[in-house]
């Protein structure tokens, strides 16, 4: 009966996830993680507690010697407003444990479901907006005051959207196909009504800027070390300044067996792989993925597009300064893949449109939402009195927070199934070392010549090209378990910097030995191969 309890708890957690009508609250996430922790193949730890008092979790999935198997790290909650990423990390973990536990015999998974819990809570808050920062007190505009210019809900509807102000000096106009949307004004059109456009709020510090000193702190996805955007809002005073980012990196630097990351966030190199830039790659501080790694990215991108039915539309974010996705590659040396997991699909063309303008993300979203009968995604413009614009027409409205970055929850289950499939395919392509063609020759003087081939029998190399150059990843160690005195030719220990996909390396020794020897090769992130040599 005791053996059934973890299984029943996991079934209950999955049933709860499928039965809920919206993205989970933090306490619901904790319950699902704790249910997973009851299973013998899962281990849950708390990395740290944020300034806002929220726990940051690490979930380890696997069997046997977990730290000596190739591992994939799955990271959700890279951005606080991207609530889909948290749910995908959770559901992928639940589905692996329940339906695909056989993969855990060869692969370890490190899952970090939510790296921005302080910002995530805004989704379920009474005041909703696309929040990025944690709960730290930060002087974003560096004027010596904290949080003095936050958002204000001017029309008291519980959402932060935009304000538009009629003005001949405005640089925005209504979209000709959908007057609800604002686009940059066409200077050739003298008759178009012009607007100034700001985020919803008041200029509290009277500096001519709106909402530049928010009631939120540092954004996890803007505070890492690669191209750290110093002095920018939400980045913090220095890289990795926050408890959650420091705790994650400290944890990762102890996990030598991670060979790849899959992050769920705004960056995308899966539906569309990165491009190689030779000039940027040759800089002292490398600013382009290296050529061999771009080829790997293309192969994994093809695998992703085979697994995911939806095709990306208007998705061009391939990394931003200080983000996690680029840190994992450029500063940690691992293969790093990122995807939003979902894009607003391309809407069917409107045959009645006469506008020469190209579709924007917002106009495409509203068309798609209408075709999907999603009616609660836009807040109609509502006139308000604004202290900064007396005697002017000021209106509040716009697309609701979260809806352009996260699909309706009813669609998440199918998205999670497809992404679980992709993760499993990626794991099956991981480095796999094997010994082949072992040969023992008898020589004069009771000597033996031992020759053997070491093969990486996989579609992925043992090291990324940048990881090989960084000298941080452990090299492949080939060791013959006999004393140096018994080896007349060859080395007791050989080190190999990298083995490409399906590459073979041959090794040979002359030994003065009888009985049995053990030959072992590998590194934590490539796995290990072992063979018994009968002399």
Kindly report each contact of residues 118-121 with a partner whose C-beta sits within 8 Å and lies 24 or more positions away, as own/partner: 118/50, 118/51, 118/52, 118/54, 118/80, 118/216, 118/217, 119/79, 119/80, 119/81, 119/216, 119/219, 120/26, 120/77, 120/80, 120/83, 120/86, 121/26, 121/52, 121/54
What ranges do the domains of the chain cover?
A: 4-124+218-344+407-428, 162-215+350-399, 433-534
- Angle in degrees, CA 469, 431, 298, rounded to 5: 70
For the chain, which ranges sit under pLDDT 50? Answer: 1-2, 5, 17
CATH H-level, domain 4-124+218-344+407-428: superfamily: Zn peptidases (3.40.630.10)
> For position 210, what pLDDT does the model report?
83
* pTM for this model (two decimals): 0.93
> For position 14, what pLDDT does the model report?
52
CATH H-level, domain 433-534: superfamily: Immunoglobulins (2.60.40.10)
Residue 381 CA, distance from chain mean position: 35
> For position 311, what pLDDT does the model report?
86
Nearest by Cα to 263 from 424, 114, 42, 68: 114
> For position 214, what pLDDT does the model report?
81
> For position 140, what pLDDT does the model report?
80
Nearest by Cα to 510 from 531, 530, 488: 488
pLDDT in tens, 37-82: 999 999 999 999 999 999 999 999 999 999 999 999 999 999 999 9
Nearest by Cα to 426 from 531, 529, 319, 299: 299
| Dihedral over alpha carbons 263, 267, 272, 278 (to 10 degrees) | -110
Please report how many Cα atoms fall inside a 13 Å half-sphere around the Cα of residue 251, on the Cβ side.
19
Provide the pairing of β-strand 108-112 with 71-75: parallel
Q: Please, are residues 519 and 533 in contact by the beta-carbon 8 Å criterion?
A: yes
């Amino acid at each position: 009966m005791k053996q059934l309890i973890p299984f029943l708890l996991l079934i209950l957690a999955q049933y709860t996830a499928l039965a809920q009508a919206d993205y989970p609250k933090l306490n619901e996430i904790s319950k699902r993680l704790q249910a997973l922790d009851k299973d013998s193949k899962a281990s849950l730890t708390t990395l740290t507690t944020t300034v806002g008092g929220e726990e940051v979790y690490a979930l380890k999935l696997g069997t046997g010697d977990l730290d000596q198997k190739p591992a994939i790290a799955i990271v959700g909650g890279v951005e606080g407003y991207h609530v889909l990423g948290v749910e995908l990390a959770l559901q992928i973990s639940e589905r692996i444990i329940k339906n695909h536990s056989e993969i855990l015999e060869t692969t370890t998974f490190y899952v970090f479901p939510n790296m921005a819990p302080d910002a995530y809570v805004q989704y379920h808050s009474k005041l909703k907006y696309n929040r990025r920062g944690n709960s730290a007190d930060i002087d974003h505009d560096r004027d010596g005051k904290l949080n003095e210019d936050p958002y204000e809900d001017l029309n008291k509807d519980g959402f932060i959207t935009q304000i538009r102000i009629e003005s001949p000096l405005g640089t925005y106009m209504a979209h000709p196909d959908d007057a609800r949307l604002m686009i940059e004004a066409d200077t050739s059109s003298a008759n178009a009504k012009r607007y100034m456009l700001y985020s919803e709020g008041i200029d509290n510090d009277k500096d001519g800027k709106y909402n530049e000193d928010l009631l939120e702190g540092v954004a996890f996805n803007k505070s890492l070390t690669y191209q750290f955007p110093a002095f920018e809002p939400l980045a913090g005073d220095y890289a990795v300044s926050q408890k959650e980012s420091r705790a994650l990196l400290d944890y990762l630097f102890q996990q030598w067996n991670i060979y790849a990351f899959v992050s769920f966030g705004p960056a995308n190199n899966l539906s569309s792989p990165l491009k190689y830039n030779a000039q940027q790659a040759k800089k002292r501080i490398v600013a382009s993925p290296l050529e061999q790694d771009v080829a790997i990215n293309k192969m994994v991108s093809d695998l992703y597009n085979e697994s995911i039915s939806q095709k990306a539309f208007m998705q061009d974010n391939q990394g931003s300064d200080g983000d996690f996705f680029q840190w994992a590659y450029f500063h940690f040396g691992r293969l790093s893949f990122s995807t939003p997991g979902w894009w607003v699909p391309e809407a069917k063309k409107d045959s009645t449109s006469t506008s020469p303008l190209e579709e924007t993300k917002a106009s495409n979203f509203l068309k798609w939402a209408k075709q999907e009968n999603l009616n609660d995604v836009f807040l109609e413009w509502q006139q308000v009195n604004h202290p900064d614009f007396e005697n002017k027409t000021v209106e509040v409205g716009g697309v609701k927070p979260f809806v352009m970055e996260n699909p309706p929850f009813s669609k998440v289950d199918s998205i999670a199934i497809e992404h679980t499939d992709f993760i499993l395919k990626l794991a099956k392509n991981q480095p796999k070392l094997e010994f082949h063609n072992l040969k023992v020759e008898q020589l004069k003087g009771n000597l033996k010549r031992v020759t053997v081939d070491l093969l990486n029998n996989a579609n992925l190399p043992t090291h990324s090209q940048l990881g090989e150059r960084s000298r941080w990843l452990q090299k492949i160690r080939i060791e013959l378990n006999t004393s140096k005195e018994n080896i007349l030719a060859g080395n007791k220990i050989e080190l190999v910097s990298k083995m490409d996909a399906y590459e073979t390396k041959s090794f040979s020794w002359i030994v003065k030995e009888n009985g049995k020897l053990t030959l072992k090769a590998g590194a934590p992130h490539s796995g290990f191969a072992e063979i018994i040599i009968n002399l």
